[in-house]
Amino acid sequence: MFIDKIKSFLLTGTVAASLTIAPISAIADTQTITVGLSGDIDNFDPATNQLISFQAAFATTIFDSLVGYDSQLNIVPRLAKSYNISSDARIFKFDLVDGASFHDGSPVNANAVISSLKRSAELGGVFGGPLQSVEKFEAPTNNTVKLTLKSSYAPFLTALTNVAIIAPSSFENAVSAPVGSGPFLFESWTPNDSIILSRNDKYWGEKPAFSRLIFKPIPDPQVAMTNLYAGAIDIVAEPSTAVIAQVDTSKAQVIRPSGSNSIVYIEMMGTKGTLANVHLRRALAHGFDRETIKSVAYGGQGQSEASPLPTSSFVYTELGGYPYNLEKAREEFELSGAPEGIEIGLEVLAGFPEAEQMGRVWQASLSKIGIKLNVVVSELSVWLDRYVSRNYDMTWNFFGVSPDPHSFFDVILRPHLSGEYQNQKVIDLVKEGIETSDNMKRKQIYAELQEIMVKDLPVMAVQSRPIASIANKSINGLELNPLGWPLYAQSSKSN
């Protein structure tokens, strides 16, 4: 009797096994491109989700903005087919493209754009913040939007690249059901499984060559790569530095942008005040072995410069900075008067092994001059808690600096300026930087700011992050911009 039960069990197993030997069918299809993301997305509201991976995935797919970037980060027209900026950078006029509509069918007209912009201004944050300087939102015609600012704001156009225009009907449910006007429309999200977009056949611009774009959250980079090799996904969007170095190029292609605007920083001024003395910060900088760190942590990739701005920035200034020199580091350490054997914490976010490797190299160097560096690796929520309250000695961070240099000062430096790094000169220069529309004058202003940054070191630039996407060889025409956003809509898939 019992043996019969075993037999029937085994039989069930065999049936299941024979059913499963079916070939993988999903991927041969050239109409579907599947992308592996490093994490799931649970908030689809472009006004409140400030994750880099959210922007990279959806800013150019579901959503449209008035102006956008091309693959070189040049500002190009999107929903605004043309624009006009007053010489004092206070009045911005946009002519909307003809025939654009939201995914719900409603037209993208001046009123819809204005209410979407106003919503972003209300919600604030990095993206909506600049819109708070708008004094007047006007719609001179049904197809024209006129924005008048309280005062001159040179980075305004760049800021608008981050502001997605969404359909007024979707304001309430944008978190779960975003309605944009981009080349793809949001179909569904299954938590931890997939986000499915389908082609917007009524798109006003050039329609994508494929009909479905699927995002799959695959947190582990090894798992993501096996999925890519097996053909279950076509693109790994945000591979870690270590994974990029290990790609088997006979099976897949590494797609790199023309440069990287993603800069890694060490923020040195937390509320703990451990590094209040500039000589101590300089000692740390002289003890930072850029060459070794670049080769150990970043596989020899990226540009390691003293300036906190990317080399591609129009205001970039080359500065000497602090070459690796333990003698000088020791001198600065003595000048600082900090006790021998002082312990300094470095906060690092989990999931970025290269950041920890950087910390280890630095730790080894600093130990030679009597500084004990403690590298603390924490998961996002813990790291963020300390980051936001600035409750640290030093923290690692990285940021995609937009083509306008102000973004660095606005996002990374600003909390320090209102906190431990009180420097009126810098505050004034930053203000001047945004109020000046002349590019030559801005160059001078930002050159001075970069010099002060390097001299005072509230934030130390590490280097640019090597960014890339990894795609199967069947993917054509995929480009990345220097912020690391893959431009999916222009790509296609062959057999």
Q: Is 347 helix (H, G, I), strand (E, B) or coil?
A: strand
Nearer to other proteins, 123 or 335 (CB): 123
The strand pair at 212-217 and 459-464 is best described as unpaired
Q: Measured from the CB of residue 186, what is the shortest distance to other proteins in angstroms?
A: 13
Q: Measured from the CB of residue 296, what is the shortest distance to other proteins in angstroms?
A: 26
Q: 453, 421, 449: which is closest to 434 by C-alpha?
A: 449
Can you say how many angstroms the Cα of residue 415 is from the centroid of all Cα atoms in its chain? 19
Nearer to other proteins, 70 or 385 (CB): 385
Beta bridge pairs of residue 267: 395, 459
Nearer to other proteins, 270 or 405 (CB): 270
Please, are residues 459 and 446 in contact by the beta-carbon 8 Å criterion?
no
Nearer to other proteins, 1 or 440 (CB): 1
Nearer to other proteins, 253 or 407 (CB): 407
Nearer to other proteins, 413 or 457 (CB): 413
Residue 399 identity (one-letter amino acid): F
Question: What is the rounded distance in angstroms from the CA atom of residue 467 to the CA atom of residue 229?
Answer: 20
476 sits in which H/E element: strand 475-476
Q: Measured from the CB of residue 125, what is the shortest distance to other proteins in angstroms?
A: 5
Q: Measured from the CB of residue 333, what is the shortest distance to other proteins in angstroms?
A: 30
Integer-rounded Cα Rg, in Å, for the chain is 25
Q: Measured from the CB of residue 116, what is the shortest distance to other proteins in angstroms?
A: 17
Beta bridge pairs of residue 252: 472
Q: Measured from the CB of residue 82, what is the shortest distance to other proteins in angstroms?
A: 31
Nearer to other proteins, 203 or 485 (CB): 485
The strand pair at 212-217 and 342-349 is best described as unpaired
Q: Measured from the CB of residue 390, what is the shortest distance to other proteins in angstroms?
A: 7
DSSP per-residue codes, 222-261: HHHHHHHHTTS-SEESS--HHHHHT--TTTEEEE--SS--
Count of other CB atoms within 10 angstroms of residue 6: 9
Rule CB under 8 A: which residues touch other proteins? Answer: 1-3, 6, 9-10, 12-13, 16-17, 19-24, 26, 39-40, 42-43, 48, 50-51, 123-126, 129, 132, 175-176, 189-194, 216-220, 222-223, 226-227, 229-232, 379-382, 384-385, 387-390, 397, 411, 414-415, 418
